[in-house]
Structures are given as structure tokens and as C-alpha cells.
């Protein structure tokens, strides 16, 4: 066990006001890693106050300088990639190859958003009057509240923090209670990169701390990634207070395999999309929509591939599937096995806890056949290594099944036919579409997010990621030095249209 994991507020590591703590532990070994500060509303208020006081100077720090700090952060994260990755694996279970990838996404984002320090593009446009100039600028907003999940302990927070910071906002971050130590190590990288005190603040704890952050009057913007239930609670609380919110919630992502697909490519992509990260990605593939002709061969190949997966402690060499994150996740995934049986799905492989792999929350990679679109396992997000196979007759039917979902994050199609691929691009109604690639692996330079119940129309990453953390300021500069009213239509003035004045 290591020392108490503390909050970071106003440039100092501090204990909680209440003295309460909780423990972070390893889902593979069930060993306790460290005690952690459990924050309450007062700790959140302290963090917001620190962020507020830092904002007045941070917003005036030239954006290129802010961007340079992000470049330094990228270098530090590169140096510490292994340490950070190993701690993340210990706290939330996914394999080291995956946690390294997680850190890499943050590094990529740090370089991308660091570059925004010299761009942060607004625009100019012609104006109606002579001797007048018009422009639209991205402005910082103030204090940003971030609530993030455990499945991407570093990447997902980086998608929020880095655009928020380069745009001149200060941040209060409440990470998941399942990954506090990884969060603290990530914050240490910001400290060592030279971010001034109060610009990045960390409050550790449970949902009550997140709720206090959501409701704090000085936090005007919230960005949330996590479960639909919590996301909608954040949304309604924040909406009542007139705040801006970015939400990334569930997914029920599908891979479509048409009869003409390249079987080897499809099998590899399905396996990693469904069972990688133990199925605990919002982009994980949990529905396999397969055309009748290729179904028998595909099933056989998938079962063969699933048998090669090695479930175990993600720190161990050769392990390909780590444990589920905690007991609650294990209970939830296990409960869906009964649901599937009751609904009449055929269990083809897996279907239960993997006790051979160790004492942790290990679950066998699971495939159900004979699934219909109406079954609960085809509709609800399970967030575990469980794939449901639905047979269809045509591309049109596949698209229809894909789109008939409460969620709309990611979808994928395997076909060698360019016409069908483009038809799918046109007709699949998810925020991300892949052709001949699994449902995971989004890159940070493109917008990330989904339609329907996945979010609220906002996007993270890419240029769109800046929208969450900036307000547009339209600026008009009249340099004529004289009245130009003669040119205004009197009727327009009387009717309230002061165009050009």
C-alpha cells in the first residue's frame, strides 16, 4: 500500500476537509493499492475558488505560451508512459499494451491542442459599412468542471482538459473513484510541465463530489463521460442552472459483416472491438450484424479466435484480456447471462466468470448466436466482453438493425464492394463510421461523439472539441471616426434592425 492519494488544489497536494477516505484497489489481484481522499462539497468549493483566482492570469497568458506548456506535458507523458500505464493497469485492469495506448492518446492530444496555441482559429468576414472591420474570436469561458470515467483514465480526461486549457480556461477535475492514483500521477505531469497553481485542480471522490461540482455556481461548463444514468443526472442538474454541458455516454456499437467481406480482417477486428479492454469501451462492439451467407464461416473463425485469448492480470506478459473493473461490473455482466438465456439466445462460448484467471473480476469472452434485434442483449449496454450475433439478409436490413438503437456512437462495415461501403457511409446514423476496421480506435484529430442517447450533440477532439470550452465573441471595429447613419434605412432603424450602426 502506498501513501494517501490527495487532492491537488491551488498548487498544493491537500487532504480532504472531512478527513474521510476510501481505498483504490486492483481488480486483478483484489489488493488495496492506496487510501484516497474522499472529497465533499467543501473540497470542491476550495478547488473552484483556486481555479477562479488562477483564471484571471491564465486567460491573459498568450495562447502560444499556453500551448508550449502542453508540448512540455507531451514530453513528460512520453517519458512516464510506462509508469503511468502500469499504474493504470493496476487500478482498472486493462492490459499494459492498452494503457500505453491510453497514455499515447493524451500525448497525441497534447501535441494537437498545443498547436492550437498558435491557431485557435476565428474568422473575419466582410461587413456592410465602409471603414468597419468584423471578426469572430474564440473566447475562454472560465472554470470548467470535468467528470471522467475509469475506462480511459488518462485519454478521456486529456480530451477535455487540453482543449479547455489551451483556450484559456482553468479546470476542476473529478475523476472516477476507480482510478484516483492514476489521476494523481497524470496531474503530477501538469505540475512538472509548469502549469501555474490553480490552473489544474483535482478533487477525488464519489458522485457527491461530482454533483457539488455540477451545481457550483462558478462552474459554467461541464464535460462528462460515463454512464447514461449519471450523465443524464449531470445534464438535468446543469440545465436547471443554465450551464453548458458536453456529454459522452453509452454505446451499443455494431460491426456489419457482408457476404463479400474479407473474413480474416473481419474476425480480427470483431475480436479486438468486442473483447479488447474487456468490452469496457464506449466504442466496444457488442452487436455483430452478419449476412446469412458468411455467418457459418464467420462463427467458426470467431470461436477459434476467441479460444486464443488469454484472460488474466493485465500486467502479465501474454495476457490479452484483463479483468472487469469491479464487483459491480462483474455482477452486471453476469446478470446479463441470465437475461440472454431467458430471451432465448444461444450461448456459443464463454458465459461466466473466469476463476482460472485469478481471484479478480475476470469474465470469459462471450459470444451469443441466434440473437434478435428485440432482445435485451441486443439493445442494452452491457460494458463487458459480451458479443451478440444477429443474422440479416441484406445490407439494407443490416443498416436498419444498426440504426435501430438508443445509442449512436460508432459503427463498422466489412465489405469489399465500394458501392456498398459508400451506401453504408451515407445511411449509418452513428457519430463515427468505420469501413473495414473495428468500432474502436478513434484518433484525436477528428470529432468524437455520438448521436441519439450517446450524447447531447456535442463532440470532443478535433476542432469540434474546442466548441465545448469556448464561446464565440463577435467583434465589430468602426474606424471611420464619423457618423455613418445616412446610409441606414430609417425603416430598419425604427423596426429595431440596427444593421450597420
Q: Tell me how far, at minimum, the Cβ of 494 lies from ligand UN1, in Å.
A: 54
Q: Which is nearer to ligand UN1, 39 or 99 (CB)?
A: 99
Supply the residues annotated as catalytic. Answer: 248, 282
* Binding string, residues 10-49; x marks residues near ligand UN1 by CB under 6 A: ----------------------------------------
Q: Which is nearer to ligand UN1, 210 or 358 (CB)?
A: 210
Least distance (Å) between residue 1 CB and ligand UN1 = 29
Tell the smallest beta-carbon distance from residue 273 to ligand UN1 (Å): 8
CB closer to ligand UN1, 99 vs 140: 99
Find the length of the chain.
Answer: 501
Q: Is 150 in the site for ligand UN1 (CB under 6 A)?
A: no
Grid cell for residue 469: 470550452
What are the grid coordinates assigned to 68, written together?
508550449
Provide, rounded to whole angstroms, the least separation between the CB of residue 293 and ligand UN1: 29
Q: Which of 111, 152, 195, 434 binds ligand UN1 (CB under 6 A)?
A: 152
Q: Of these, 224, 442, 466, 468, which contacts ligand UN1 (CB under 6 A)?
A: 442
Distance from C-alpha of 70 to C-alpha of 500, rounded to nearest angstrom:
41
DSSP 448: B
Residue 441 in the binding site for ligand UN1 (CB under 6 A)? yes
Nearest approach, Cβ of 412 to ligand UN1 (angstroms)? 11
Count Cβ neighbours within 10 Å for each residue of 6-37 and write b for 16 or more, e otherwise: bbbbbbebbebbeeebeebbbbbeeeebbbbb
Among 89, 283, 405, 468, binds ligand UN1 (CB under 6 A): 283
Q: In this structure, are residues 153 and 29 in contact, taking their beta carbons and an 8 Å threshold?
A: no
Q: Which is nearer to ligand UN1, 148 or 299 (CB)?
A: 148
Q: Does 156 bind ligand UN1 (CB under 6 A)?
A: yes
Residue 161 touches ligand UN1, criterion: CB under 6 A: no
Q: Report d(CA 152, CA 143) in Å as an integer.
A: 23
Taking the complex as a whole, the smallest distance from the CB of residue 282 to ligand UN1 amounts, in Å, to: 4
Question: Per CB under 6 A, does 151 bind ligand UN1?
Answer: yes
Residue 226 makes CB contacts below 8 A (sequence gap 6+) with 147, 148, 149, 176, 248, 249
Among residues 113, 169, 115, 109, the alpha carbon closest in space to that of 139 is found at: 169
Stretch that binds ligand UN1, among 148-156, 316-324, 378-386, 462-470 (CB under 6 A): 148-156
Judge whether 57 and 70 are in contact, CB under 8 Å: no
* Candidates 39-47, 254-262, 279-287, 471-479; binding stretch for ligand UN1 (CB under 6 A): 279-287
Q: Which of residues 16 and 251 has its CB atom nearest to ligand UN1 in the complex?
A: 251
Closest CA to 201 of 212, 221, 187: 187
User: Cβ closer to ligand UN1: 16 or 157?
Assistant: 157
Decide: is 281 part of the binding site for ligand UN1 (CB under 6 A).
Answer: yes
Least distance (Å) between residue 279 CB and ligand UN1: 10
Backbone dihedral region for residue 479 (phi beyond 0: left; psi -120 to 50: alpha; all else: beta): alpha
Question: Per CB under 6 A, which region of 57-65, 89-97, 182-190, 277-285 contacts ligand UN1?
Answer: 277-285
Q: Where are the beta strands (DSSP E) in 386-454?
A: 386-392, 407-408, 410-414, 432-435, 451-452
Q: Min. distance of Cβ 276 from ligand UN1 in angstroms?
A: 8
Inter-residue long-range contacts of 18-21, CB under 8 Å, 24+ positions, other chains counted: 18/42, 18/43
Residue among 182 and 283 whose Cβ is closer to ligand UN1: 283
Stretch that binds ligand UN1, among 42-50, 68-76, 276-284, 315-323 (CB under 6 A): 276-284
| Residue 57, C-alpha cell as written in the block | 492570469
- 94 forms part of the interface with ligand UN1 (CB under 6 A): no
- CA dihedral (164, 169, 173, 179) positive or negative: positive
282 lines the binding site for ligand UN1 (CB under 6 A): yes
DSSP, collapsed to helix, strand or coil, labels residue 61 as: coil
Complex with ligand UN1: residue 352 or 457, whichever CB lies closer: 457
Residue 324 is a binding residue for ligand UN1 (CB under 6 A): no
By the rule CB under 6 A, 99 interacts with ligand UN1: no
Size of interface with ligand UN1, in residues (CB under 6 A)? 11
Cell 483564471 sits on residue: 55
Helix axes 207-215, 228-240, angle to 10 degrees: 30
Task: Choose the binding region for ligand UN1 from 34-42, 150-158, 186-194, 363-371 (rule: CB under 6 A).
Answer: 150-158
Q: Would you state the cell numbers that stand for residue 460, as one nine-digit string?
A: 470532443
- Strands across the sheet containing 170-174: 12-14, 7-9, 200-202, 170-174, 143-147, 219-225, 244-248
Torsion of CA 109, 163, 429, 442, to 10 degrees: 10
Shortest distance, position 277 Cβ to ligand UN1, whole Å: 7
> What is the Cα–Cα distance from 306 to 323, expressed in whole angstroms?
16
7 is an interface residue for ligand UN1 by CB under 6 A:
no
| Residues that bind ligand UN1 in the complex, under the rule CB under 6 A | 105, 151-152, 156, 225, 281-283, 440-442
Amino acid at each position: 500500500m502506498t501513501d494517501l492519494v490527495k487532492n491537488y488544489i491551488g498548487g498544493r497536494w491537500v487532504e480532504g476537509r472531512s478527513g474521510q477516505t476510501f481505498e483504490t484497489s486492483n481488480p486483478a489481484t483484489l489488493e488495496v493499492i492506496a487510501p484516497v481522499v474522499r472529497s465533499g462539497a467543501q473540497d470542491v468549493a476550495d478547488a473552484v475558488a483556486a481555479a477562479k483566482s488562477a483564471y484571471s492570469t491564465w486567460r491573459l497568458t498568450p495562447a502560444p505560451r499556453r500551448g508550449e506548456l502542453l508540448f512540455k506535458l507531451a514530453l513528460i507523458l512520453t517519458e512516464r508512459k510506462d509508469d503511468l500505464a502500469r499504474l493504470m493497469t493496476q487500478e482498472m485492469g486493462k492490459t499494459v499494451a492498452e494503457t500505453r495506448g491510453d497514455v499515447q492518446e493524451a500525448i497525441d492530444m497534447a501535441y494537437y491542442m498545443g498547436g492550437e496555441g498558435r491557431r485557435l482559429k476565428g474568422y473575419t468576414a466582410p461587413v456592410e459599412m465602409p471603414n468597419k472591420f468584423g471578426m469572430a474570436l474564440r473566447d475562454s469561458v472560465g472554470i470548467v468542471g470535468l467528470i471522467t470515467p475509469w475506462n480511459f483514465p488518462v485519454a478521456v480526461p486529456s480530451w477535455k482538459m487540453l482543449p479547455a486549457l489551451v483556450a484559456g480556461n482553468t479546470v476542476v477535475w473529478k475523476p472516477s473513484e476507480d482510478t484516483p492514483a492514476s489521476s494523481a500521477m497524470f496531474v503530477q505531469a501538469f505540475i512538472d510541465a509548469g502549469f501555474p497553481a490553480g490552473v489544474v485542480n483535482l478533487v477525488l471522490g464519489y458522485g457527491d463530489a461530482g454533483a457539488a461540482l455540477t451545481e457550483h455556481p462558478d462552474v459554467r461548463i461541464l464535460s462528462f463521460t460515463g454512464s447514461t444514468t449519471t450523465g443524464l443526472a449531470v445534464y438535468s442538474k446543469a440545465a436547471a442552472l443554465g450551464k453548458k454541458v458536453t456529454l459522452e455516454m453509452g454505446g451499443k456499437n455494431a460491426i456489419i459483416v457482408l457476404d463479400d467481406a474479407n473474413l480474416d480482417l473481419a474476425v480480427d477486428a470483431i475480436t479486438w472491438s468486442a473483447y479488447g479492454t474487456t468490452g469496457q469501451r464506449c466504442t466496444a462492439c457488442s452487436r455483430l450484424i452478419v449476412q446469412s451467407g458468411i455467418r457459418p464461416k464467420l462463427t467458426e473463425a470467431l470461436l477459434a479466435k476467441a479460444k486464443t485469448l488469454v484472460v488474466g492480470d493485465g500486467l502479465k506478459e501474454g495476457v490479452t484480456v484483463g479483468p472487469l473493473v469491479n464487483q459491480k461490473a462483474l455482477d452486471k455482466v453476469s446478470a446479463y447471462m441470465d437475461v440472454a438465456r431467458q430471451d432465448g439466445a444461444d450461448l456459443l462460448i464463454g458465459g461466466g466468470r473466469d476463476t482460472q484467471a485469478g481471484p479478480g473480476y475476470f469474465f470469459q469472452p462471450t459470444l451469443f448466436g441466434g440473437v434478435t434485434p428485440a432482445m435485451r442483449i441486443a439493445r442494452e449496454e452491457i460494458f463487458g466482453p459480451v458479443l451478440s450475433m444477429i443474422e440479416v439478409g441484406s445490407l439494407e436490413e443490416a443498416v436498419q438493425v444498426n440504426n435501430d438503437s438508443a445509442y449512436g456512437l460508432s459503427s463498422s462495415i466489412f465489405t469489399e464492394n465500394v458501392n456498398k461501403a459508400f451506401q453504408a457511409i451515407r445511411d449509418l446514423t452513428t457519430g463515427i463510421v468505420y469501413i473495414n476496421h473495428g468500432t474502436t480506435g478513434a484518433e484525436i484529430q477528428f470529432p468524437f461523439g455520438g448521436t441519439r442517447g450517446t450524447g447531447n450533440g456535442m463532440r470532443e477532439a478535433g476542432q469540434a472539441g474546442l466548441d465545448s470550452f469556448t464561446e464565440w465573441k463577435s467583434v465589430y471595429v468602426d474606424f471611420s471616426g464619423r457618423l455613418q447613419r445616412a446610409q441606414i434605412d430609417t425603416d430598419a432603424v425604427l423596426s429595431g434592425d440596427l444593421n450597420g450602426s
